[in-house]
Amino acid sequence: MSVKRSKTESTYISVDPKEASIKEVHQLLLGGVAPRPIALVSTISKKGINNLAPFSFFNAFGANPPIVAFSPSRRGHDGTTKDTLNNLREIKQCVIQAVTHDMVEQASLSSTEYEPEIDEFIKSGFTPIPSDLIKPMRVKESPFHMECEVLQIVPLGDKNASGNLVICEVIRFHFHPEIFKDGIIEPNLIDLVGRNSSNYYTRASGEAIFSITKPIGKKGIGFDNLPVFVKQSHVLTANNLGQLANCESIPSQDEMDSFVNSTGTTADTGDIYISSFIFKSLDEMIPIAVTRWKNKHDEAKDFLEITAKKALDNKKPDVAWKLLLLSNRE
Ligand SMILES: Cc1cc2nc3c(=O)[nH]c(=O)nc-3n(C[C@H](O)[C@H](O)[C@H](O)COP(=O)(O)O)c2cc1C
């Protein structure tokens, strides 16, 4: 790979895609645009042969009408087009199914370049079931299907590895009720996989899943309004600062006073060290930290900042703000 020094930042390696090989450019995209959802695409040839292949250059682009798109590229080694694209040029319909952890090996198997006469449902061991509105079959093993009509195929070049954007309108959704909870497809129930660089995949469930509170219709104060002492904290992370900047206001003097007055004090025995303090619960930490501040303890600021971080980790930014403001008060 022909590597350049970034003109603006010496810590980056900069690459001109025109000077790199196709493989290198492909790997940069695979690694940096990741994890990508995987579309397991079912098509049918004019002769009636079922075709199945996974595509991770894939996403959704609108809800009204529901639009999804994926890109079957020309083959990297000889520039020929893939069976999926050839089929779609003839019969402009496909089913896109989600790929879950239980079926990822079979989905990977379906990426094998079998000849167009081979039914890839049979090769990959997936069970074909009929669609409601279109000719291509659905994959029974997937809990989420989209029957699609192709609106447009946009060639993105005519060389080896050039993409072909297939833009589809979803005309019917199908999903298993078991993946649905409280009005949404629940990530731990559907257990999707995503594609990363090389042979790497991501399993989108368990510890990989977390939530970020982003209440609709509110405007956070922004990073620029964070006090300097907060930005310079050695305890808070960039994500913690983001949570604080996402709050609409900083607690007022009155709110601070009532927080201090309403927080019960504890007997400060002097034998609580930071090393044991960090393992306590937020409810135990707050009175200890506030008591140390009231007693002008040498390490009161550290105790308050660590407690503020715990409050942020517990998604209580309002409490964190109060603790932080206190840490800066005499
Ligand atoms: C997880 C995964 C994702 C893939 N994503 C793409 C992709 O986005 N575009 C592409 O052209 N090929 C992709 N491939 C490779 C195709 O699946 C492969 O070339 C397949 O043989 C195409 O089948 P077809 O000739 O039946 O259309 C991917 C393979 C795997 C395993």
Q: Enumerate the H helices of the chain as residue ranges.
A: 22-32, 83-90, 104-109, 120-124, 187-190, 228-231, 238-245, 253-262, 274-277, 282-294, 300-313, 317-327
- Tell me the best of 111, 114, 123, 192 to mutate to test the pocket of ligand 1, counting ligand atoms within 8 Å of each CB and taking the most: 111
Please report, rounded to a whole number, the percentage of residues in the chain having pLDDT higher than 90: 88
- Largest Cα separation within the chain, whole Å, is 84
For ligand 1, the distance from its centroid to the CA atom of residue 206, given in whole angstroms, is: 27
Q: Are 323 and 307 in contact (CB under 8 A)?
A: yes
Residue 330 pLDDT exceeds 90: no
pLDDT digits (tens, 9 = 90+) for 123-181: 999 999 999 999 999 999 999 999 999 999 999 999 999 999 999 999 999 999 999 99
Residue 95 pLDDT exceeds 90: yes
For ligand 1, the distance from its centroid to the CA atom of residue 272, given in whole angstroms, is: 58
Separation between Cα atoms, residue 244 and residue 317, nearest integer Å: 6
- pTM equals 0.91
pLDDT for the residue 272: 84
What are the tokens at 176? 């298993």
pLDDT digits (tens, 9 = 90+) for 7-36: 676 789 999 999 999 999 999 999 999 999
pLDDT for the residue 286: 95
- Tell me the best of 27, 52, 82 to mutate to test the pocket of ligand 1, counting ligand atoms within 8 Å of each CB and taking the most: 82
SS3 content of the chain, % helix, strand, coil (to 5): 35, 25, 40
Pocket of ligand 1 (CB under 6 A): 38, 51, 53-57, 71-73, 82-84, 108, 111, 113, 195
Instruction: Give me the chain's average pLDDT, please.
Output: 94
Residue 256 pLDDT exceeds 80: yes
For ligand 1, the distance from its centroid to the CA atom of residue 134, given in whole angstroms, is: 22
pLDDT for the residue 275: 84
Task: Please state whether beta strands 144-155 and 164-175 pair in parallel, antiparallel, or not at all (unpaired).
Answer: antiparallel
For ligand 1, the distance from its centroid to the CA atom of residue 304, given in whole angstroms, is: 53
Atom of ligand 1 nearest to the CA of 195: 1
pLDDT digits (tens, 9 = 90+) for 267-302: 777 778 888 888 999 999 999 999 999 999 999 999
- Tell me the best of 56, 80, 199 to mutate to test the pocket of ligand 1, counting ligand atoms within 8 Å of each CB and taking the most: 56
- Tell me the best of 41, 55, 117 to mutate to test the pocket of ligand 1, counting ligand atoms within 8 Å of each CB and taking the most: 55
For residue 66, what is the enclosing H or E element? strand 66-70
Residue owning the nearest CA to atom 13 of ligand 1: 55
Residue 279 DSSP label: T
Separation between Cα atoms, residue 52 and residue 72, nearest integer Å: 12
Residue owning the nearest CA to atom 26 of ligand 1: 83
pLDDT digits (tens, 9 = 90+) for 221-252: 999 999 999 999 999 999 999 999 999 999 99
